[in-house]
Amino acid sequence: MQKIGELIFNSAIFVVSCALYYVATTFPDYRNSDQVGPALWPKMILLTIMILSGTLMVKNGKRMLDSIRSSERPASIQQGGNRMLIAAVTLSLVYVFSVSYVGFLVSIFLFQIIFLLILRVRSLKTLILYPACLTVTVYAIFIKLLYIPLPRGSGFFLAISRIFY
């Protein structure tokens, strides 16, 4: 599983580098003001990444073939950890995309409760008190003391945030 994953990751690096190299070829020339131009440096970097990731892909492929020949068994997968991880990453993405609508205070409070549930915390006291305390701490330090502008949300959530900051 690790070997297949690594091959996929190296292939992804190679493909993305090729795509970005193509993007770099579309950068305009500024021969009058700068003969080097904005494309040369990224092109050099991308070309090196392509060569190195290509080398790794070939190595990975060889190793996989060897393991198939020797009928090596794939390592056991930590199912529980993987499920938790997928849930945690999904929650993080949902949080990032919803924070501008829900506002910081409400979203961070809900984020913490769901994150704790994902991490198998079941005590109701912890699930309510800990996020509440952390949210109040963040509110006191970052909003009240340091005046850092955190997202307020829109509509109903904007009205709620206006009560606090």
Distances, alpha carbon 95 to alpha carbons 70, 72, 115, 142, 145, in Å: 45, 41, 11, 19, 25
Residue 35 binding another protein, by CB under 8 A: yes
Nearer to another protein, 150 or 160 (CB): 150
Cα separation, 12 vs 32, in Å, equals 37
- DSSP for 61-74, please give it: HHHHHHHHHTTPPP
Residue 165 binding another protein, by CB under 8 A: no
Residue 126 binding another protein, by CB under 8 A: yes
Cα separation, 149 vs 165, in Å, equals 9
Residue 163 binding another protein, by CB under 8 A: no
Q: Contact region for another protein (CB under 8 A) — 68-76, 97-105, 153-161?
A: 97-105
Residue 22 binding another protein, by CB under 8 A: no
Residue 31 binding another protein, by CB under 8 A: no
Q: Which of 122, 124, 125, 163 binds another protein (CB under 8 A)?
A: 122
CB-based burial of residue 10 (10 Å sphere; 0-12 exposed, 13-18 middle, 19+ buried)?
Answer: buried
Q: Which of 11, 61, 100, 110 binds another protein (CB under 8 A)?
A: 100
Q: Which of 55, 67, 90, 154 binds another protein (CB under 8 A)?
A: 55
Q: Which of 57, 105, 111, 153 binds another protein (CB under 8 A)?
A: 111
The set of long-range contacts for 77-83, using a CB threshold of 8 Å and a minimum separation of 24, is 77/1
Site for another protein in 57-76 (CB under 8 A): none
